[in-house]
Structure 1
């Protein structure tokens, strides 16, 4: 349904495109490249509802054609945007939408929502790429986008996935797919770097003014709107990465071209959720130096904000003013992660000694390779006065005595604030998910889909949409990964 209450069809998709109002230097207008005989894989009802669509209709041929790129809505102005970026800390020059095509945006009660086809064919920014995405990576992005949204973490969304039999060569021969992504904007840090490094101050200003006017209108009256923009983006980025760390999410490729100017999780490639805890875990097997390891995400986020600040410096006009904006990162991240970790432990107050309790906990988890998600979920069941009931939690540790010592200190801390078991458990279960997108769960759904059975994708999505609920009928989705999962590798290939 649209804002007037009428059903939306593929023919009358109410698209606008504010980004297309920028000068032609910012993008290339082009049509998607059709795929032969596309088919429906899965759709997100929650994402569809954001733009007034009925997910049940998305399996129809007209929507499949539209969101594969075989047909174009009458009001669409398809384009691929240009941007640049630092990749693994090295300036990579011009990049751009090498396989993504923006269809336009739809007005919603929360503001505009852009629709973008990822895998819709070659663009002028494809470089050596084929412009396609594969079924494997498209399913992963679809599931993780919606899983992150259900966890309450800022993210781009995924409307649906379509597939085709057309072969695509990656490490192996795979089949093509298209995922329809949604976000208020896909502008990135690298969008600003592009104009800075090309010494195009007017284009840099136009982009900044567009972002401020469209997405940060409250900043227009600031004494220095560009400084205010940098400070707000830095603040959002710090808070986002605090959310990642708290839930054990690893992005895998935190290049500046993958950093959202709105503070959203953007570009799901070789991501992963922490299982056996290792602060130095690298989820992207092509990241040989470990630049984007779990423990490096907070400082890399700060580094990326500095790259954005450098690009905005000609507009801000003063190094000290830019530095002042960037200085919000560390205290914002510290405040965010501290609040989230207190919530994960069911602590209602902050007290002296909490830092040591947390440090000891993570050291213990590291030494015992404890499953991150299961540990925090089961911690909610700990009873202050009944340590004999600790078995489900305690059995995760090889060194039981070390756990007992930490649990004794944790219980003492809970007693300091007169914590009551039942309400604390309920609060902890609202912040510690039971279900996350483990790599092996995604792999099982992908293998089913590659064999023509797409029910596993929809079933897994349904589980991940309620990550904090017990879902006793879906208990297997919360289990420790099987031994074969240790051999799974994810990379930048897609």
Structure 2
């Protein structure tokens, strides 16, 4: 196995002088050296061959014992020094002090085809930042991270990646619901990949300690390797760097809103300095279009990280980053101006994104009201966001079309009896009666009978306005369908799908994992063989653990 190892983080940044792996406050250092815990019986559950190829790994490499040992921490690669990062963060709006890589160990950095990648193991043992935790991870959360990382990439959402999912052979004690009923689960390890795993919190920790020297060293390093256009160490460069981070973060969050993704834990220690989606914990996709929904049980009461609040939280987190960078700039005005730009630009980018979802190329002032009315209607009755926007592309702009009837009788939903070939008896009982939409918009509603009275009237009014708006566009219906299908995915990683995969994986069956992994590599394609996954959440999954809300337990 040949990897071009080129570590920069450990060579160019200050290290924790204490070598012992004891829980402690780490001062004036960006990282601590850590050796992964050797698993008792490591085995490979799944590999993203696409990601492996991106790193320059061959099929033979993936089959080697050396690869297995690398992605499970069983052996430390020669010429590498694994480490855990030191960072802090605001959690649920409150400063939490030092946090750090408590469950992640960075192996090294590699380069291939002029691109740099950091390899990181999640669940490979304790670090000085683990506090009272064990540094391990369980299979259910690892399956979710492995699948979602790659799913987001193929959706076109900036994200960290996943190379592999492995079993450690060890049992890990977890209280899944934080209700005092802890139990042993299968231990697992994900090998995560990104150009860098630096977060907002990496800078916050040094600013909070007034350690401007280390802060400057880290900022200069980050700029040198990831924002080289702002090298120079001047205040103007630091302002330019911050502006670029703001724009990257804004772009990422617009993508989240486009596909209906809810991160669930937008703490500042979970915000990538590169504008990547990072740390897949209690995430989820909207089933019903509900801006107030959060997948995080910890956030159930206040709903700070709900879908509709993600843009505002992004701005709040960027404000904390601005505060952390302030000691290097010592001028609040340019930072405030950049944050104001986010505040004014997000609504514009959101409207532009929604125009794309609606198949509108012209930018008309009336579109804002059209979008506002649509969002109100989508919330009036439980409506599946993914199915609605995907099937909306079938509406004709021809004035002769009876849009009212086409909306309510545009092909009834069918019952799909094909069962997932890789799922066994228990899974089959869940999947065999999944309702599968045809091209129907009616199929997006969980309770079509609720579309009556005022709700139906509002929908009829909206569709009449939408059809009139489409008539102002130059694209034909067929051309518009193609355009809309490029931004409205047909397949997303719904929580109930993840749970079905987890159920099978717990029985040592990874066929469904492979099927879903393949499905999510082409989320905008029709994929007739996988049509049964283009479906609303089944009723059995509405309140099932793992299929609706989740905890941070992993």
Which interval holds the TM-score relative to the shorter structure?
A: over 0.9
Deviation at 1:369, TM superposition (A): 1.2
Identify the match of residue 362 of structure 1 among 362, 371, 375: 375
Q: For 1:99, which of 95, 100, 103 is the aligned residue?
A: 103
- Aligned equivalent of 2:188: 177
Question: For the residues of structure 2 that align with 1:13 and 1:423, how far apart are their CA atoms?
Answer: 44
Aligned to 1:16, what secondary structure does the other structure show?
coil
Alignment of 1:307-386 (within 5 A): 307-385=320-398, 386=401
| Partner Cα separation in structure 1 for residue 210 and residue 363 of structure 2 | 48
- How far 1:331 sits from its partner (Å)? 3.1
Sort the Cα spacing of 1:355 and 1:55 in 2 relative to 1 into closer, same or farther, 3 A: farther
| C-alpha displacement of 1:76 | 1.8
Residue in 2 that maps onto 1:86: 90
Once residues 251 and 56 of structure 1 are traced to their aligned partners in structure 2, the CA distance between those partners, rounded to angstroms, is: 36
Deviates more, 1:329-338 or 1:92-101: 329-338
Structure 1 residue 59 displacement after superposition: 4.4
Contact 2:102–2:128 (CA under 8 A) maintained in structure 1: yes
- Asked if structure 1 preserves the Cα contact closer than 8 Å seen for 2:4 and 2:112, the reply is no
Partner of 2:208: 197
* Pairwise CA distance, 1:110: 4.8
Alpha-carbon displacement from aligned partner over 1:5-31 (angstroms, at most 9, x marks no partner) = xxxx1xx43222111021111111121
- Whether the 8 Å contact between 2:107 and 2:120 is mirrored in structure 1 is yes
Distance 1:423 1:136 in 2: 41
**Which of the two has higher C-alpha Rg?**
2
Which residue of structure 2 aligns with residue 226 of structure 1? 238
- Residues 1:471 and 2:475 are matched in the alignment: no
Deviation at 1:62, TM superposition (A): 2.5
**Please, which moves more after superposition, 27-36 or 329-338?**
329-338
Q: 2:485 is matched with which residue? A: 429
TM-score (norm 2): 0.85
CA distance in 2, matches of 1:54, 1:459: 22
> What is residue 14 of structure 1 aligned with on the other side?
4
Structure 1 residues 311 and 483 mapped into 2: Cα distance closer, same or farther (>3 Å)?
same
Provide closer, same or farther for how the CA distance between residues 424 and 110 of structure 1 changes in structure 2, counting only shifts above 3 A: farther
- Greater Cα offset, 81-90 or 401-410: 401-410
Instruction: Indicate the residue corresponding to 2:458 in structure 1.
Output: 402
Q: Displacement of 1:224 after TM fit?
A: 1.0
Question: Are 2:224 and 1:213 equivalent residues in the alignment?
Answer: yes
Q: Deviations over 1:127-157 (max 9, x none)?
A: 0110101111111001000000000110000
Report the secondary structure of 2:169's partner residue: strand
Q: Secondary structure at the match of 1:224?
A: helix
Report the secondary structure of 1:411's partner residue: helix
What is the Cα deviation at residue 248 of structure 1?
0.4
Structure 2 Cα separation of the partners of residues 54 and 31 of structure 1: 26
The alignment partner of 1:296 has SS state of: helix
- Once residues 3 and 472 of structure 2 are traced to their aligned partners in structure 1, the CA distance between those partners, rounded to angstroms, is 58
- Contact 1:241 1:333 (C-alpha < 8 Å) held by counterparts: no
Deviation at 1:57, TM superposition (A): 4.1
Q: Which residue of 1 aligns with 2:149?
A: 145
CA distance in 2, matches of 1:243, 1:423: 23
C-alpha distance in 2 between matches for 1:55 and 1:364: 50
Where 2:72 maps in the other structure, the secondary structure is coil
Q: Which stretch shifts more, 470-479 or 103-112? A: 103-112
Point out the more displaced range, 430-439 or 224-233: 224-233
> Deviations along 1:72-96, whole A, 9 cap, x unmatched?
1112221111000000000000010
Matched, 1:490 2:550: yes
**Residue 224 (structure 2) pairs with residue 168 (structure 1):** no
> Which has the larger displacement, 483-492 or 369-378?
483-492
Task: Give ranges in structure 1 of 5+ residues lacking alignment.
Answer: 1-8
Give TM-score scaled by structure 1 length: 0.95
The verdict on how the C-alpha distance between 1:464 and 1:184 changes in structure 2, with shifts beyond 3 A counting, is same
Counterpart secondary structure, 2:307:
coil
**3-state secondary structure, aligned to 2:513:** helix
Q: Distance in 1 between matches of 2:473 and 2:116?
A: 45
In structure 1, distance between residues paired with 2:348 and 2:269: 26
- Provide the rounded CA distance (Å) in 1 between the counterparts of 2:487 and 2:38: 43
SS at match of 2:287: coil
Listed one character per residue, the Cα deviations across residues 246-293 of structure 1 (whole Å, up to 9, x for unaligned) are 110000000000000000001000000111111101111111310100
Pairwise CA RMSD: 1.4
Question: What are the within-5 Å matches in structure 2 for residues 30-41 of structure 1?
Answer: 30-41=34-45
Task: Note the residue ranges of structure 2 that are not aligned, 5 or more in a row.
Answer: 16-28, 176-182, 411-439
How much does 1:330 deviate? 1.9
Equivalent residues of 1:33, 1:121 under 8 A apart: yes
How far did residue 223 of structure 1 move?
6.2
State the 1:486 CA deviation: 1.1
Runs of 4+ in structure 1 off by over 3 angstroms are: none
CA contact (8 A) 1:31 1:78 kept: yes
**Conserved? CA contact 1:14–1:75, under 8 Å:** no
CA distance in 1, matches of 2:230, 2:534: 43
Give 3-state SS (helix, strand or coil) of 1:261's partner.
Answer: coil
